[in-house]
Structure 1
Amino acid sequence: MIIDAHQHFWDPARADYPWMAADELAPIRRAFGPADLAPLLTANGIDASILVQCRSALEETEEFLRIAHATPSVIGVVGWADLTDGALGDTLERLRGLPGGDKLVGIRHQVHDEPDPDWLLREDVQRGLTAVFAHDLAYDFLVRSRELPAAIATAQAFPQARFVLDHAAKPPIAAGGSSEWAARIKALGACGNVWCKISGLATEAAWNDWDAERLSPFVVHAASCFGEGRLIFGSDWPVCLLAGSYGEIKDALEACLAKLGPQARDKAFGVNAAAVYRLAVAT
């Protein structure tokens, strides 16, 4: 099974997405749902996907579980829940009991939007993470270089937990890279309980001036940090449409992975996502 481990659905007419307010995001400020994604998966040889949170609202997590329940191609949901809620364990139990609750595989929060770069290290957040892992869920890090030290400390604090780094921590590709980013994801990769999604890279490059060669050094560095067993493909659709079509993004990442060898490519396109998210699928 070939898995797209990072895609979104949203409808700005029905809910508020603060991160979508910028003028340059106008092309994706419309509804995207399962009917939009289905033909793209078929055309690109993708068997299944993991639906990832877009806003900080339990209502969205509940909606995504309903979508997953009704959409066989959605085999996992990384939802949102309030890590600072002292009753988070009860909330997770309730979510698990909803239609589609068996497809809840992880939790995510937009940490890079928090004013405090050490937000992950707050006592209430760490308590919330304890509840997440007690329910056998993974946690997705949505961070940039600024928050990576806190992510490293968090991964070290929960050595038996499973973490996923989204978008390789959003390297500044348009600016030519960063030694700080490179060193910090190397330190995170040294934590053996963290996987890395090579997703969202084209939108970190110049949207009208990128190709596989431009992305390749960042994919190669991520591979050197995490190894072929912890690298995961994700389209980041429909955010990726700002830089290219679903097919262009998939083909570019496939070209980058091809340089690492067929085994690395095969693992990144399914096996590794199934492992970290505990997906009951054949890959």
Structure 2
Amino acid sequence: MNNRIDAHQHFWKFDPVRDSWIDESMQKIQRDFLPEDLLPLLQENQFSGCVAVQANQSEDETNFLVNLAAKNDFIKGVVGWVDLRGVTIEERLHHFSSNKIIKGFRHVVQGESDDFMLRKDFQNGISALKQFNFTYDILIFHRQLPAAIELANQFPDQPFVIDHIAKPDIKSGDILSWKKGIQEISKTENVFCKISGMVTEADWKNWKTDDLKPYLDVIFENFSADKLMFGSDWPVLNVASDYTEVVKTLEDYIAQLSVENQNKIWYENAKSFYRL
């Protein structure tokens, strides 16, 4: 079995005020999730490492993940948070660039207005990433894909990756507008896509593999094996599934691909995109 990288997971010490997005419907994840909780799951499923992604919008969060990575060598990279709209953004990026474990940044754009990524202050922050070799994770709902397409086209040299396949509404089966956006954004050379976060967009209690398949088909038809990577979205996935089930769902789907292409999706693409 080849090495595998989980390109998208989170850690937190649960704080009901700060983490108010984890509401009563998500009781299963209203607790701490730390490296010692993840490591056995990675080992059971042949993963040699992971990329820890911010869940909270603060520089404290970035520092928290950096400190965990310093103590746990299976955390191969950190996608942190920095205020991309801030007037001192270059100074902050310069500060973070001294720490090689930080590979890129993310903003929870799904919680912002649909035109957020087109604002001048945000784009000023995006324009500063490249000089420090930082990536950017695009976290959006599918209705925000038009703005993401515009962003990707405006910054053709900036490496972007779409989180959670841009959150289509799998539960309702609505696919058409999302599919159109995916077809468009996949044409841009600089945009990768994470096969992650799908089970939590489906019906948590009743989803079946067949519910995910049409969405996986679209992703694989539009992004080549060179631009796709696996992310578990642990521990959020626990509200709808478990780690091994999410891994197995993708294993089964890509079983017909060449070993080389499977290895790209499990390992090589994350490694090269994030410079692990």
Query: What TM-score results when the alignment is normalised by the length of structure 1?
Result: 0.93
Task: Please tell me the residue identity of whatever aligns with 2:11.
Answer: F
Which consecutive unaligned segments of at least 5 residues does structure 1 have? none
**Identity rate, percent:** 38
Task: Please tell me the residue identity of whatever aligns with 1:108.
Answer: R
Shift of 1:15: 6.8
2-structure distance, mates of 1:256, 1:138: 28
Which consecutive unaligned segments of at least 5 residues does structure 2 have? none
- The partner residue of 2:9 within 7, 25, 28 is 7
Q: What is the RMSD computed on CA atoms of the aligned residues? A: 1.4
Q: Name the structure 1 match of 2:176.
A: 179
Shift of 1:206: 1.0
Per the alignment, do residues 120 and 191 of structure 1 end up closer, same or farther by CA in structure 2, a change over 3 Å counting?
same
1-structure distance, mates of 2:34, 2:226: 31
1-structure distance, mates of 2:247, 2:196: 10
Task: Please tell me the residue identity of whatever aligns with 2:105.
Answer: I
Per the alignment, do residues 54 and 69 of structure 1 end up closer, same or farther by CA in structure 2, a change over 3 Å counting?
same
Deviations 1:14-55 (A, max 9, x none): 8712322x2211210110000100111111111100000001
Deviations 1:221-274 (A, max 9, x none): 111111110011000000001111111111111112224443332111011111
Q: Are positions 1:60 and 2:61 aligned together?
A: yes
Q: Name the structure 2 match of 1:37.
A: 38
Q: Name the structure 2 match of 1:102.
A: 100
Tell me the number of residue pairs that the alignment of Structure 1 and Structure 2 aligns.
Answer: 274
Q: Name the structure 1 match of 2:137.
A: 140
Q: How does 1:75-94 map to 2 (within 5 A)?
A: 75-94=76-95
1-structure distance, mates of 2:174, 2:252: 20
2-structure distance, mates of 1:18, 1:83: 23
1-structure distance, mates of 2:225, 2:152: 19
Q: Name the structure 1 match of 2:119.
A: 122
Per the alignment, do residues 135 and 124 of structure 1 end up closer, same or farther by CA in structure 2, a change over 3 Å counting?
same
Q: Name the structure 2 match of 1:155.
A: 152
Task: Please tell me the residue identity of whatever aligns with 1:187.
Answer: E
Shift of 1:197: 0.3
Runs of at least 4 residues off by over 6 Å = none
Task: Please tell me the residue identity of whatever aligns with 2:221.
Answer: S
Counterpart contact for 2:129–2:158, Cα < 8 Å: no
Q: How does 1:188-199 map to 2 (within 5 A)?
A: 188-199=185-196
Query: What TM-score results when the alignment is normalised by the length of structure 2?
Result: 0.96
1-structure distance, mates of 2:53, 2:95: 19
- The partner residue of 1:229 within 226, 229, 232 is 226
Shift of 1:11: 1.3
Per the alignment, do residues 12 and 52 of structure 1 end up closer, same or farther by CA in structure 2, a change over 3 Å counting?
same
More helix per residue: 1
